[in-house]
Amino acid sequence: MSADAFRWPDDCRAAVSVTFDDARPTQLDAGLPILDEFEVKGTFYVVSQRCLGRVDDWVRAATNGHELGNHSLRHSCSGNFLWEGRNVLENYTVEQMDEELAEASRQIEELLGVRPKTFAYPCGQTFVGRGIDRRSYVPVVASQFLAGRGFRDEYLNAPTFVDLAKVGGTEMDRMTWEQILAHISRAKERGQWVVLVGHDVRDEGHQGTRCEVLKRICSHCTDPANQVWIDTVANIAQHIQDSRACESG
């Protein structure tokens, strides 16, 4: 698809998604009220077991139009983080990951009443195995989901080129509003999609998105004068996919 042929809705010049990982309580207690104040729909990548104490709250979030995505069953990352050995990616096969992600989606649907459309790679890591047996599990994500979101990637997303199975994620935790605005401004210059990634919503901690920063993001992106479309990962990915289908058809 040519860059000239692609259009964001309503003459917008860029797109932004606000996403959070791990189903942390501060997302419900501090993050959702901010998003709802500005009528912004966020994407929350959940692990079903971490939702058990707040099931009604997560169901309410989904009912209000927020996206609940898949963040795997065990949040497996590299063993170099010195986490529990049986869950590390180096000990997985592609087949095991395929089964786990399907089971994670089944559990989320059973518990929260929604079937996840998109996935977020835990720790942003996309491999299983080691050495000559190391494999990407991006194809697994491509087969099960509309989109897969990365973390701490060095690029924003060009809608005519991005691999929807590995969408670049830009860290939001600890960032100032000025740093976030720089990403959004760059995206507007190039017609790109910024996918912001946070964890807790609080004013301290290395994995905390500051409340004031989240408010500034929502305020800026909902002002029509700024020409930014802010929506869930699923909705923006669907627009990209539909635009590509129209162009090829």
Instruction: Give the pLDDT of residue 82.
Output: 72
Instruction: Give the pLDDT of residue 87.
Output: 81
Structure tokens at 100: 């786990």
21, β-bridge pairs: 45
Rounded to whole angstroms, the Cα distance separating 8 from 13 reads: 7
Asked if 201 and 214 count as a contact pair (C-beta separation under 8 A), the reply is yes
Structure tokens at 199: 């964890």
Dihedrals φ, ψ of 84, to 5°?
-60, 125
For the chain, 249 residues long, give each residue's pLDDT as a single digit of tens.
Answer: 566 679 999 999 999 999 999 999 999 999 999 999 999 999 999 999 999 999 999 999 999 999 999 999 999 999 998 766 668 999 999 999 999 999 999 999 999 999 999 999 999 999 999 999 999 999 999 999 999 999 999 999 999 999 999 999 999 999 999 999 999 999 999 999 999 999 999 988 789 999 999 999 999 999 999 999 999 999 999 999 999 988 765
Query: Do strands 135-136 and 147-149 pair parallel, antiparallel, or not at all (unpaired)?
Result: unpaired
Work out the number of other CB atoms within 10 angstroms of the CB of residue 20: 31
CA distances to 6, 192, 224, 228 from 13, in Å? 11, 8, 11, 6
Rounded to whole angstroms, the Cα distance separating 235 from 131 reads: 37
Tell how far CA 189 is from the center of its chain.
Answer: 22
Q: Report the alpha-carbon angle 126-132-133, nearest 5.
A: 55
Instruction: Give the pLDDT of residue 81.
Output: 84
pTM score, whole prediction: 0.96
Domain architecture of the chain: domains with CATH: 10-248 (3.20.20.370)
Instruction: Give the pLDDT of residue 83.
Output: 64
